[in-house]
A and B are shown apart, each in its own frame.
Chain A
Amino acid sequence: MSETKALESMIGEEYKYGFTTDVEYEDFPKGINEDVVRLISEKKNEPEWMTEFRLKAYRAWTEMEEPSWFNATYEKPKFDTLQFYSAPKNKPKLNSLDEVDPNIRETYEKLGIPLDEQKMLAGVAVDAVFDSVSIFTTFKEKLAEAGVIFCSISEAVQDYPELVKKYMGSVVPARDNFYAALNSAVFSDGSFCYVPKDTICPMELSTYFRINNMNSGQFERTLIIAEENSHVSYLEGCTAPMFDEHQLHAAVVELVALDNAEIKYSTIQNWYSGDEEGRGGIYNFVTKRGACRGKNSKISWTQLETGSAVTLKYPSVILQGDNSVGEFFSVAVTNKRQQADTGTKMIHIGKNTKSTIISKGISAGRSDNSYRGQVKISKKADNARNYSQCDSMLIGQTCGAHTFPYIESANPTGKIEHEATTSRVGEDQIFYLQQRGISEDDAISLIVNGFCKEVLKELPMEFAVEANKLLGIKLEGSVG
């Protein structure tokens, strides 16, 4: 009775970030060919080697086929009408906050991300990416004092070409997959971070990605390098306006950890997910991979995936260095008609390498949620260990949950443990909590938060509250 009503009343106000910002855009041709790729490179005033990198990737892409092995169905993006580059008209490279287009500044305020350093969350430096361009990076000076470079990838191409040349494409080669190739050809902007030897980054770094322009795709590129004995924690947040058409987001993220270095990468993904009927919403097709190149290095991925119409995403770790550690903590929530196929790959190459996978999938509405994970222990990886736990929770009767674990071991000393559970949020659980005075929505929120506690505690503290709230909003009235 009350349940469906509650569901209906929540639908209208569910997505709070669906507004658009009125900004003028530079003209840019639609579709893609070598000239478009050159033009992007030219717009960004890139050196020859960068243009070559893009062209090579483009040529590779033209020979590749769009993948279809995942558990999702959708209408393929129309590459010939898509706009591959979109930049607000106002001078994009800014040194002071006063120069930021006031409309864009307001957008970030509305999203709860003040760019004004005074007002920032204590100890979090922010890089704001609006459509294809990095708008502003806060706390740059303070970071520079510690020797940490945190800037947009476009700036890095100009100012730190040796680093970019050395590492870009070294973890995710342009030919890696269809969308990585496309990204390598047309990537617009993103964040770059370099933490030198023996340095602990003095604050959380974060990037907020915002897609505003209806017809543009967003292709951002992030590269993080942690030198020996360094440590960095990075968080990305994503939102987009509500449009009836699907928009493509195809990012590439590369992480490199050298000896004894540690990178913690967290994502709160809340792209617009489309309406009840599956109209609109973002296609989130990203390639995220980290390389534990050094001994004793560690890379942790933590993700809270709540948005997008379709998500295909497998943040992975290549454990090359002996004793290196890879972690993947994930909460993926799907509601309405969302489809998520997400998981991780842990590739053990070094000796005594260790990986942990904790995945929590929550499906509601008429959504489909799949975990897909690969654990591979190569021949030389003596004493490699993996522990995987994949739990699915179903809310209501019309959603689906699936688990696809792939295990491959070429070394008899390897140890792989896999546990999986599926549970349903039952009417009885909700009634029990309601009998104790808790409203239906709060009951679901309690149950879901309890279910993902292990993962949520991995998020940086500054964002934990936000994450809890987001989960609550996402699932309000979802018992039908």
Chain B
Amino acid sequence: MLELKNLHAEVEGEGIEILKGVNLKVNKGEIHAIMGPNGSGKSTLAKVIAGHPEYEVTGGDIIYKGESILEMDPDERAHAGVFLAFQYPVEVPGVTNTTLLRESYNTIAASRGREELDPLEFDDYIREKLDLVEMNPDFLERSVNTGFSGGEKKRNEIFQMAVLQPTLSLLDETDSGLDIDALRIVSEGINKLHGEEDAVVLITHYQRLLNYIVPDHVHVMLGGKIVKSGGKELAFELEEKGYDWLESLAKVNGEAK
């Protein structure tokens, strides 16, 4: 599904390198977790995969469904099934959730040769999805993320994921800002959405989320690289020993190129 080959990226025009050679392989049907301390480059990695213009890929490649997507615009990547649940979802005043989602759904449907839904059909369709994350229907007519609490924004991201049915979901710190009940509900939603044909990459700080969504693989990111990969037990080890442990590990691995 997704393969990152020695991916390097820097802030466009500023020459600050943030991703320093990331290698990662994600197969259909899998759930991967990427953990790592603040500033290690996790969000940047997700944004680079989704095609954010702020970053320039300076080396390596992103292979998605067998092809390089480096030349694709963000909307084309979305059409191909890439979905990013943002760590900081953006407010879009004046545009309601329904307007955005109908436009998104139909654009993606059209690009894949699927049938578009008219407003009434679409309304039926999204109401089903609301239940999945137990979201109040009032949110449909509110402006996208505008004035939403941190937790509401995160829930809204997963609601959008449910509506758009992506094949690769990058969930950036979806757990932060959610209280314990919301975390359970949202996690259950993600578990239900995940199947044999899609893949999920969870980005998180804490082991807590992984009690609800059990990853097949865990990777630890540090200084713009994946420094260690393992099974779900790696998350526990990390929780126990802290990131300091990894930093010493990274040094042993020879940060110096």
The judgment on whether A and B are partners is yes
Interface residues of A (CB under 8 A from B): 1-3, 423, 426-429, 431-440, 442, 446-447, 449-453
> A185 to B157, alpha carbons, bound, how many Å?
62
The answer to whether A450 and B93 touch across the interface, beta carbons within 8 angstroms, is: yes
Query: A434: which B residues are within 8 A, CB to CB?
Result: 51, 73-75, 78
Q: Which residues of B contact A433 (CB under 8 A)?
A: 92, 100
Residues of B within 8 A of A2 (CB): 53, 73
Nearest first, the 4 closest Cβ-Cβ pairs linking A and B are: A450-B94, A437-B78, A434-B74, A432-B90
Residues from chain B with a CB closer than 8 A to the CB of A1 are: 53
Q: A433-B92, A435-B84, A438-B104 are in contact. List 8 more A-B contacts (CB 8 A).
A: A429-B90, A435-B50, A436-B100, A437-B107, A437-B111, A442-B103, A449-B95, A450-B143
Residues of B within 8 A of A437 (CB): 75, 78-79, 104, 107-108, 111, 164
> A440's contact among B75, B99, B143, by CB below 8 Å, is which?
B75
Considering the complex, give the chain B residue whose CB is closest to the CB of A1: B53
Q: CB of B206 within 8 A of chain A?
A: no
| In the complex, B160 has a CB within 8 A of chain A | yes
A433 to B93, CA, bound (A): 12
Q: Could you say which residues of chain A place their CB within 8 Å of the CB of B94?
A: 447, 449-453
Q: Which residue from chain B places its CB closest to the CB of A453 in the assembled complex?
A: B94
Cβ of B89 under 8 Å from chain A: yes
- Rounded to whole Å, the gap between the CB of A53 and the closest CB of chain B is 46
A447 touches B95 (CB 8 A): yes
Chain A residues near B237 (CB-CB < 8 A): none
Q: B158 to nearest A CB, angstroms? A: 14
Closest to B144 in A: A432
Is B52's beta carbon under 8 Å from chain A?
Answer: yes
- Nearest CB of A to B77, in Å: 8
Decide yes or no whether B141 CB sits under 8 A from chain A.
no
Task: Determine which of A440, A442, A450 lies in contact with B92 in the assembled complex, contact meaning CB atoms within 8 Å.
Answer: A450
CB distance from B241 to the nearest CB of A (A): 35
How far, in whole Å, are A444 and B100 apart by their CA atoms in the complex? 12
Kindly provide the distance from the CB of B108 to the nearest chain A CB, expressed in whole angstroms: 4
Q: CA separation between A273 and B99, bound complex, in Å? A: 31
Q: How far is the CA of A431 from the CA of B103 in the complex (A)?
A: 15
> Which residues from chain A contact B52 at a C-beta distance below 8 Å?
431
Q: Which residues of A contact B99 (CB under 8 A)?
A: 446, 450
In the assembled complex, 29 residue pairs joining A and B whose CB atoms fall closer than 8 Å, in A order, are A3-B53, A423-B93, A426-B90, A427-B53, A427-B54, A429-B91, A429-B92, A431-B47, A431-B74, A432-B92, A434-B73, A434-B74, A434-B78, A435-B50, A435-B74, A435-B75, A435-B84, A437-B107, A438-B75, A438-B104, A438-B107, A439-B107, A446-B92, A446-B95, A446-B103, A450-B93, A450-B94, A451-B93, A453-B94
B148 at the interface (CB under 8 A from A): no
| Cα–Cα, bound, A7→B12 (Å) | 20
Within 8 A of A (CB), among B136-195: 143, 160, 164
B88-126 contacts to A, CB under 8 A, are 89-95, 99-101, 103-104, 107-108, 111
Q: Is residue B212 contacting chain A, with contact meaning CB distance below 8 A?
A: no
| Bound-state Cα–Cα, A2 to B83, Å | 20
Which B residues lie at the A interface, using CB under 8 A?
47, 50-54, 73-75, 77-79, 83-84, 86, 89-95, 99-101, 103-104, 107-108, 111, 143, 160, 164
A1 and B90 CA atoms in complex are apart in Å by: 21
Closest approach, in angstroms, between the C-beta of B80 and any C-beta of chain A? 10
Report how many A-B pairs have Cβ atoms within 8 Å.
Answer: 86
Say yes or no: A436 contacts B73, CB within 8 Å.
no
Give chain A residues whose Cβ lies under 8 Å from the Cβ of B74: 431, 434-435
In the complex the two chains form, what is the Cα distance from A427 to B104 in whole Å? Answer: 18
Given the complex of chains A and B, what is the CA–CA distance between A365 and B61 in angstroms?
A: 35
Kindly state the separation between the CA atoms of A394 and B173 in the bound complex, as whole angstroms. Answer: 31
> Taking the nearest CB of chain B, how far is it from the CB of A433, in angstroms?
7
Q: Cα distance A2–B111 when bound, in Å?
A: 19
Cα A3 to Cα B86 with chains together (Å): 22
| A438 near B103: Cβ-Cβ < 8 Å | yes
Asked if A428 contacts B90 (CB within 8 A), the reply is yes
Q: Of all chain A residues, which has the CB nearest B94?
A: A450
B188 → chain A, closest Cβ, in Å? 23
- Inter-chain CA distance A270–B143, complex, in Å, is 29
Closest to A436 in B: B104
Contact between chains at B90 and A439 (CB < 8 Å): no
For B104, the chain A residues whose CB sits under 8 A away are 436-438
Smallest Cβ distance from A439 to chain B, in angstroms? 5
Whole-angstrom CA separation of A118 from B103 in the bound complex: 35
Minimal beta-carbon separation of B165 from chain A (angstroms):
12
Report B181 CB to chain A, min CB distance, Å: 27
A442: which B residues are within 8 A, CB to CB?
Answer: 103, 107
B160 — which chain A residues lie within 8 A by C-beta? 436
Contacts of A449 in B (CB 8 A): 94-95
Most chain A beta carbons < 10 A, residue from B94, B99, B143? B94
The answer to whether B53 touches A432 (Cβ under 8 A) is no
In the docked arrangement, what's the CA distance between A452 and B74, Å?
26
Please tell me if the beta carbons of A436 and B78 are within 8 angstroms of each other in the complex: yes
Q: Give the residues in chain B near A439, CB-CB below 8 Å.
A: 73, 75, 107
- Complex-state Cα separation, A435 to B143, whole angstroms: 17
Write the chain B residue with the least CB distance to A426: B90
User: Which residues of chain A come closer than 8 Å to B143, judged between CB atoms?
Assistant: 450
B142 to chain A, nearest CB (A): 12
On chain B, the residues within 8 Å of A428 by CB distance are 90
Report the minimum CB–CB distance from B201 to chain A (whole Å).
15
Distance from A476 Cβ to chain B, minimum over Cβ atoms (Å): 15
| Assembly CA distance A436 to B164 (angstroms) | 8
Chain A residue nearest in CB terms to B53: A1
CA distance A432 to B157 in the complex (A): 11
Q: Which one of A423, A431, A438, A447 contacts B53 once the chains associate, using CB atoms below 8 Å? A: A431
Q: Which residue of B lies closest to A442 (CB)?
A: B103
* Measured CA separation A248–B103 after assembly (Å): 41
- Residues of A within 8 Å of B73, CB to CB, are 2, 434, 439-440
In the bound assembly, the distance between CA atoms of A426 and B54 in angstroms comes to 12
- When C-beta atoms are compared, the residue in chain A nearest to B107 turns out to be A437
Bound complex: CA A2 to CA B73 (Å): 8
Q: Are A432 and B95 in contact (CB under 8 A)?
A: no
**In the complex, chain B residues whose CB is within 8 Å of the CB of A431:** 47, 50, 52-54, 74, 90
Residues on the B chain within 8 Å of A453, using CB: 94
Closest to A423 in B: B93
Distance of A426 Cα from B91 Cα, bound (Å): 10
- Looking at A435, A440, A450, the one whose CB has the most chain B CB atoms below 10 A away is A435
Q: Closest residue of chain A to B145, judged by CB?
A: A432
**Interface-centre pick from A1, A437, A451 (highest chain B CB count, 10 A):** A437
Residues of B within 8 A of A426 (CB): 90
- Measured between alpha carbons, how far is A2 from B92 in the docked complex, in Å? 22
Q: Which residue of A lies closest to B54 (CB)?
A: A427
